[in-house]
Amino acid sequence: MAKLAVLLTLLALVGSVTCQGYTGNASPPTPITYPSPPSLSPSTPPTYPPPSSTPPSPAPVSPSPPTTYPPQSTTPPNPAPTGPSPPAPGLRVGYYSSSCPKAEQIVKDTVKNAVYANRGIGAGLVRLFFHDCFVEGCDASVLLDPTTANSRPEKLGVPNFPSLRGFEVIDAAKAALESACPGVVSCADVVAFAGRDAAYFLSNANIDFAMPAGRYDGRVSLADETLTNLPSPFAGLDQLKKNFADKGLDADDMVTLSGAHSIGVSHCSSFSDRLASTTSDMDAALKANLTRACNRTGDPTVVQDLKTPDKLDNQYYRNVLSRDVLFTSDAALRSSETGFSVFLNVVIPGRWESKFAAAMVKMGGIGIKTSANGEIRKNCRLVN
């Protein structure tokens, strides 16, 4: 009977959570446009390829969450992790404590100035770290500019251009580091520190953790590798799980890192399939507002979270439950496999923030380069 009571309480909480979603009374979000990297503007906005999977199932008549919450297991959920995962081999916290003692503070000060001036740039720095690590590993390959030898590096790949931003913040931090301790701090570590620090400021210091360092910068950067490695906004759950598993990350990491969608903006082309579909499960009022906002020339942008667009918080998970999310990949998290984790991130204070810190550290260990296959760049945009 006790287990049944717990189950009924949790289901009641799910219902109360979904009531806090978007009501459709707000005005369409004002699109926000951020500058593209200098001298790289394309003639037309890129679009993602259409999804290859079958269309999503029609939305159920009732707006309540799936009846599979909670999962089949009747054991109480484990508490949130107490700290980040152990660092990847070769990385350690305080890596520059002797060689460049002020390294992390220099990056943090640079990021603080940028985020306070434009919180959208902070969202870009978190995304920059993610997009760097998923292609060629966490090696700053996403920072490399086109050259005669390589006319199409990662930053020109469809998922990255023109939406990826924050490059100028990395440049500023690297310049300050080269002045303080030349040739010591890798660009890959600058990207990792910047992603960590942006999360700290965007969350009002609720996401606060140590980032291991010791990465080297890679020399390979290919635009053609971006679509095959970066999760698509059109992806369903199985494809998302595969994308993350290929990088050594599990489904829980996927749910956790998706919470970064609680801040920043998205191009309309990234969720146009959901607006055009008659079977999309997107909230009807949100769909109507987005259709109006996206019905303009070019590829407009809209905020990803209508409730707390300038704060990195767990509001994203409330939006998932109430169908107030943009992407097919966001909606996929309502599945019976991942929906309970979404629910727990809503109802347990601090759970998601702690898990996000751990997932950022874990992601930061993907594909680490060493002195044997990497370098410490003098300029983050060019190999030495």
Task: Render 33-62 in DSSP notation, one character per residue.
Answer: --PPSTT---SS---PPPP-SPPPPPPPSS
User: Is 308 labelled a binding residue?
Assistant: yes
pLDDT tens per residue, range 87-132: 777 899 999 999 999 999 999 999 999 999 999 999 999 999 999 9
User: Is 153 labelled a binding residue?
Assistant: no
Residue 86 pLDDT grade (very low, low, confident, very high; cuts 50, 70, 90): low
CATH code: domain 103-226 is 1.10.520.10
Q: What angle do CA 228, 230, 234 make, to 5 degrees?
A: 90
User: Is 90 labelled a binding residue?
Assistant: no
Which of 108, 131, 241, 274 is flagged as catalytic? 131
User: Is 137 labelled a binding residue?
Assistant: yes
Model pTM greater than 0.85? no
Determine whether 267 is an active site residue: no
Question: In the chain, where are the structural domains located?
Answer: 103-226
Mean pLDDT of 67-92: 53
pLDDT tens per residue, range 292-323: 999 999 999 999 999 999 999 999 999 999 99
